[in-house]
Chains A and B, each alone.
Chain A
Amino acid sequence: MSDLLAARAQMALSLGFHIIFAAIGMAMPFLMAISHYRWIRTGRRVYLDLTKAWSRGVAIFFATGAVSGTALSFELGLLWPGFMEHAGAVIGMPFSWEGTAFFIEAIALGLFLYGWNRLKPWTHWAVGLVVGISGVLSGVFVVCANAWMNSPAGFDWVAATASTPGHAINIDPFRAMFNDAWKAQTLHMTISAFEATGFAVAGIHALLFLRRPSPFHREAFTIALAVGAIAAIAQPLSGDLLAKGTAERQPIKLAAMESHFETSARAPLLIGGIPDEKTGTVRYGLEIPGALSYLAHGDFNAEVKGLNDFPRENWPPVAPVHYAFQIMVGCGMILAGIGALGLFLLAFKRWRPLLYHRRYLVPCVLATPLGFIALEAGWTVTEVGRQPWIIYGVMRTAEAVTPMPGLVVPFLLFSAVYVFLTGVVTWLLWRHIATVEEKYPSAREGA
């Protein structure tokens, strides 16, 4: 394993691990706020139980997210000093705001978790909401920084010469943060957090409800499903916005996502298919004529640039980006379908009992991991699709990596830590779920 590959693998692993906890940290407080609101309003036991049970589970995820996020703020420098040396001054602003938001989140979380019986009910509720708002904001700020890597702005780059290394001048941190990609990317990421968390929580409670119907699991399922479903229906729209922007800013990434090798007008949308980078062909794909042109440029006859228009050394790895994109879209479609049906059933009182019918719950159980699979796949698309660049068009990933040899050692170390932690967190969640009935009365009564 080369040092560059080890560094990339460690970064991918750390981000891929952290993103799950970050997404839960963004969305879960809002689910709790809904349940908490109902508890204060109705005084019904089930909402109190639910808010408490969720918050106990979530505390575990929060802590894991906080420490893995702390690790990431160091790993950026440990692995990519060449990047941070120049990017720090340009794109530090969203990081400094992220630090602030994260701080507020940690304070509010402490207040929320330990604030039962110490804060007035509505104050306590508002503090819970602050956890969610600051969680979403810190996610938005971090994704702003990532958007800048895809769509660099707010500086001029002086290329390296024999005597001086490359460096940034005329730095404008404000323009760097609010680059062309920030809106679409932050929107897409934020919605995905709600979609993934909503469906994962709904799926778990659907399973428990199937095993033993109770008001606890029914209410939990309903709240989580409603949040996940709204997000799942909104997500294709934000995805479209992002795809159109990507077509403008990073045509090569879009070409890789679609395995689109030859520039053509009326470009087809490829569904499935096995791309072959060497020959520039795709086998077994299903093509929808003109659809890619429409999605990328809003016109069925528009020209879409193909990979062959770009020098070979600037290609991202085509197959992984293509597969990841297909997986993301596929999972997203399934969730949008399940979500639309769910919202329909929920909207009409006479159909609502069908929401808790086996025929609907079982697909929900099966869909439990799909949101997070889509989230990871989407992250792969944006990160691997940007390769070989770390700052698109400005700095190559290979130029940014630390000179320290033997990076395979920290990679293996972090892999071991994260694999172990994943196991422990899963086990803890299972133990938490297994004791819900014993701890919370509303999880015992029949529905």
Chain B
Amino acid sequence: MLFVVIAFLGVSLFLYCLLGGADFGAGVLELFLGKSRQEAQRKIIDKAMGPVWEANHMWLILMVVILFMGFPAVYTRVSVNLHIPLTAMLVGIIARGCSFTFRHYDAVKGRSQRAYTAFFVFSSVWTPFCLGVVMGALVPGGIDPAARDYASAYVSPWLRPFPLALGLFTVCLFTFIAAVYLVGECPGDDGLRRSFARKARWASVASIVSGWIVFAGAHADGVPLLAEFLGFGWAFAFMTAATACFGVLWVALYRDWIWTARVMVGAQVALILAGWFQVQHPVLVRMPAGDLTFFNAHAPAATLNQLGGALLVGSVFILPALLWLFLVFKSEEGEEKPVVG
């Protein structure tokens, strides 16, 4: 069952980065809507994300549940030492979900819309940045349970080059995912489609650049990322493939091959995570005095069996329902039922 649980953790992380990422990225894109046709672009974003954003963020909850039930030692260690970035992320999650919903459901569409948008855009940048910082802090070994003073226990684990660089990369990558997704969400409007495709290309450049910053950050932090990537055959292959996807993507964006572009983005995210997994495995949290790994931090077998069972049974309900949700919103709207009295 341990492997079932690990698989679900991986799949949840992947889907959160892809679906939740597209959702965050859409918020970031609102920063770059340009002068003309702002409203139309915002409408596209609203329409594409409105029905699905809550479901997209459930993958995060699933990850948290898997961690604290399956790997309680990891959950607690991370909660203690990364209190500050996690709290910062939570405030972002709250601000983002609320402002997005309030913007849509405020009965009066007046000046308050500007305030919601400001909160929404800011928290859309802030939250994935914090997420990246938290993920990055697991790698360089800055989390030290023995640390006693405030700075080394609660600040230096995350306030260092690698986590910060990964935060930046996360924001860029999510923006890229969103832009590619939105290209396919404006049927019949070539102007908007071209504008999202242009944003996607810029975001891909930003992702590549920030990807190199991650490698630089790793070097500065003493993480032998480059060496590890070059040393491990698979990780190197994954990264090369992920970079190669950019080439196909650019062509696809020029030619309007919407599904090719989407599949490529999904493949990229999967490859990046697979590469990361390959480098980290089996370590979850690197620590000076002994890492927490999949094999030394997991819960007892009875708990893992329950968790694995719950995940398997749950996915029987969740996955078809999710598919249905996505399909329904690709369908056309029908006629309204007539009113009798």
Interface residues of A (CB under 8 A from B): 40, 42-45, 48, 56, 59-60, 62-64, 66-71, 73-78, 81-82, 84-90, 92-93, 95-100, 102-104, 106-111, 113-119, 121, 171-174, 402-406, 410, 413, 417, 421, 424, 428, 431-432, 434-435, 439
Closest to A100 in B: B314
- Among candidates A40, A60, A88, A115, residue contacting B101 with C-beta atoms closer than 8 Å: A60
In the complex with contacts A77-B79, A171-B302, A403-B80, A106-B72 CB distance below 8 A: no
Q: Which residues of B contact A116 (CB under 8 A)?
A: 336
Main secondary structure of the interface of A (DSSP, over half): helix
Bound Cα distance A44, B341 (Å): 5
| Count: A-B pairs, CB below 8 Å | 234
A192 CB to closest chain B CB (Å) equals 24
Interface residues of B (CB under 8 A from A): 50-52, 54-55, 57-58, 60-62, 64-66, 68-70, 72-73, 75-76, 78-80, 83, 86-87, 89-91, 93-98, 100-102, 104-108, 150, 153-154, 299-300, 302-303, 306-307, 310-311, 313-314, 317-318, 321-322, 324-325, 328-329, 331, 333-341
- Asked if residues B101 and A89 are in contact (CB atoms below 8 Å), the reply is no
In the complex with contacts A63-B101, A89-B299, A107-B325, A71-B83 CB distance below 8 A: no
- Among candidates B87, B102, B310, B317, residue contacting A410 with C-beta atoms closer than 8 Å: B87
- Asked if residues A121 and B69 are in contact (CB atoms below 8 Å), the reply is no
Closest to B315 in A: A100
Query: What are 8 A-B contacts defined by CB distance under 8 Å?
Result: A71-B93, A74-B89, A82-B76, A84-B79, A92-B69, A93-B307, A99-B65, A428-B105
Q: Which residues of B contact A108 (CB under 8 A)?
A: 321
- Asked if residues A111 and B314 are in contact (CB atoms below 8 Å), the reply is no
A110 CB to closest chain B CB (Å) equals 4
Most buried by B among A76, A84, A99, A119: A99
In the complex with contacts A107-B321, A410-B87, A428-B106, A117-B68 CB distance below 8 A: no
- Asked if residues B72 and A86 are in contact (CB atoms below 8 Å), the reply is yes
Q: Which residues of A contact B83 (CB under 8 A)?
A: 78, 402, 404, 410
Q: Which residues of B contact A62 (CB under 8 A)?
A: 54, 101
- Among candidates B78, B303, B335, residue contacting A89 with C-beta atoms closer than 8 Å: B303
Further contacts, 11 of them, CB under 8 A, given A63-B102, A117-B333: A45-B340, A62-B54, A67-B94, A70-B97, A92-B306, A95-B68, A102-B58, A107-B321, A111-B325, A117-B336, A417-B91
- Asked if residues A104 and B321 are in contact (CB atoms below 8 Å), the reply is yes
Closest to A439 in B: B107
- Asked if residues A93 and B69 are in contact (CB atoms below 8 Å), the reply is yes
- Asked if residues B54 and A110 are in contact (CB atoms below 8 Å), the reply is yes
Bound Cα distance A60, B103 (Å): 10
Closest to B69 in A: A92
Q: Which residues of A contact B96 (CB under 8 A)?
A: 67
Give 5 nearest A-B pairs by CB, closest first.
Answer: A92-B69, A77-B79, A88-B72, A43-B340, A63-B101
In the complex with contacts A63-B101, A404-B83, A424-B98, A103-B55 CB distance below 8 A: yes
Q: Which residues of A contact B101 (CB under 8 A)?
A: 59-60, 62-64
Q: Which residues of B contact A103 (CB under 8 A)?
A: 55, 58, 61-62, 314, 318
- Asked if residues B310 and A118 are in contact (CB atoms below 8 Å), the reply is no
Bound Cα distance A279, B72 (Å): 44
Bound Cα distance A305, B54 (Å): 48
Q: Which residues of B contact A424 (CB under 8 A)?
A: 98, 102
In the complex with contacts A67-B94, A71-B93, A111-B331 CB distance below 8 A: no
Closest to B303 in A: A89
- Asked if residues B300 and A171 are in contact (CB atoms below 8 Å), the reply is yes
A242 CB to closest chain B CB (Å) equals 27
Q: Which residues of A contact B338 (CB under 8 A)?
A: 43
- Asked if residues A78 and B87 are in contact (CB atoms below 8 Å), the reply is yes
In the complex with contacts A75-B90, A117-B335, A434-B107, A99-B75 CB distance below 8 A: no
Bound Cα distance A402, B78 (Å): 11
Q: Which residues of A contact B76 (CB under 8 A)?
A: 77, 81-82, 84-85, 88
- Asked if residues A88 and B75 are in contact (CB atoms below 8 Å), the reply is yes
- Among candidates B68, B107, B154, B336, residue contacting A56 with C-beta atoms closer than 8 Å: B107
Q: Which residues of B contact A111 (CB under 8 A)?
A: 51, 324-325, 328
A80 CB to closest chain B CB (Å) equals 9
Closest to B56 in A: A106
Bound Cα distance A121, B329 (Å): 16
- Asked if residues A73 and B61 are in contact (CB atoms below 8 Å), the reply is yes
- Asked if residues B302 and A173 are in contact (CB atoms below 8 Å), the reply is yes
- Asked if residues B90 and A104 are in contact (CB atoms below 8 Å), the reply is no
- Asked if residues B86 and A78 are in contact (CB atoms below 8 Å), the reply is yes
- Asked if residues B93 and A70 are in contact (CB atoms below 8 Å), the reply is yes
Q: Which residues of B contact A171 (CB under 8 A)?
A: 299-300, 302-303
Closest to B300 in A: A171
A32 CB to closest chain B CB (Å) equals 15
Closest to B301 in A: A171
Bound Cα distance A111, B70 (Å): 31
Bound Cα distance A173, B66 (Å): 14
Bound Cα distance A93, B65 (Å): 9
B92 CB to closest chain A CB (Å) equals 10
In the complex with contacts A63-B101, A78-B87, A84-B72, A96-B340 CB distance below 8 A: no
- Asked if residues A84 and B68 are in contact (CB atoms below 8 Å), the reply is yes
- Asked if residues B318 and A100 are in contact (CB atoms below 8 Å), the reply is yes
Bound Cα distance A108, B95 (Å): 23
- Among candidates B90, B299, B311, B325, residue contacting A88 with C-beta atoms closer than 8 Å: B299
Q: Which residues of A contact B100 (CB under 8 A)?
A: 63
Bound Cα distance A111, B330 (Å): 12
B44 CB to closest chain A CB (Å) equals 15
- Asked if residues A90 and B303 are in contact (CB atoms below 8 Å), the reply is yes
Most buried by B among A42, A48, A98, A428: A428
Q: Which residues of B contact A44 (CB under 8 A)?
A: 339-341
B243 CB to closest chain A CB (Å) equals 34
- Asked if residues A63 and B54 are in contact (CB atoms below 8 Å), the reply is yes
- Among candidates A92, A107, A109, A410, residue contacting B318 with C-beta atoms closer than 8 Å: A107
A252 CB to closest chain B CB (Å) equals 29
Bound Cα distance A203, B169 (Å): 50
B99 CB to closest chain A CB (Å) equals 9
Q: Which residues of B contact A42 (CB under 8 A)?
A: 340-341
- Among candidates A66, A68, A428, A435, residue contacting B54 with C-beta atoms closer than 8 Å: A66
- Among candidates A93, A119, A421, A434, residue contacting B94 with C-beta atoms closer than 8 Å: A421
Bound Cα distance A81, B307 (Å): 20
B220 CB to closest chain A CB (Å) equals 27
Most buried by A among B70, B325, B336: B325
- Asked if residues A114 and B93 are in contact (CB atoms below 8 Å), the reply is no
- Among candidates A48, A67, A89, A110, residue contacting B300 with C-beta atoms closer than 8 Å: A89
Q: Which residues of A contact B51 (CB under 8 A)?
A: 110-111, 113-114
- Among candidates B55, B91, B331, B340, residue contacting A107 with C-beta atoms closer than 8 Å: B55
Q: Which residues of A contact B78 (CB under 8 A)?
A: 77
Bound Cα distance A403, B149 (Å): 11
Closest to A407 in B: B83
A331 CB to closest chain B CB (Å) equals 29
